[in-house]
Amino acid sequence: MYSELTRRYFESAARAGVLEGARCFRGSAGSRAQGTWVQFDVQLAPSARSLEEARFLAFGCPHVIAVSSWVAERASGLELGARLPESVEALRERFAVPTEKLGRLLIIEDAWIAALRAAGAG
């Protein structure tokens, strides 16, 4: 039912958690009542031009948790800008997310954008 990659990131969720401090910013999207909620915390590098690290919290299906974990893992070193490391469609294909769950991936994207905007991205 779930791809190998989805199972691996869902089972480990290594980047789950929160970040705190002066260079940390938070954004979220969705709602538990609707079945999908995602929060990203991002920490700016000392230069404030790129991300040093990211963490996530999520409520949803294994796809939501796996993709959120993967996005947070790849945040280190990304230039500050309102974009995911890959497009939503590329993530859908990478994690073999059924088309009917596309809206859940859009919530992940919205939470990511909200965190980057809180950090000062355009």
56 contacts 19 by C-beta, under 8 angstroms:
no
- Whole-prediction pTM: 0.94
- Residues 98-113 have pLDDT tens digits of 999 999 999 999 999 9
CATH number at residue 76: 3.90.1010.10
pLDDT confidence of residue 80: 85
Which residues are bridge partners to 24 per DSSP? 43
Whole domain around residue 88: which residue ranges? 4-118
Of 93, 86, 77, the C-alpha closest to 108 is: 86
Report the first-to-last Cα separation within the chain, whole angstroms. 38
Does residue 122 register a pLDDT over 80?
Answer: no
Instruction: Count how many domains the chain has.
Output: 1
- Residues 73-99 have pLDDT tens digits of 999 889 888 788 899 999 999 999 999
110 contacts 117 by C-beta, under 8 angstroms:
no
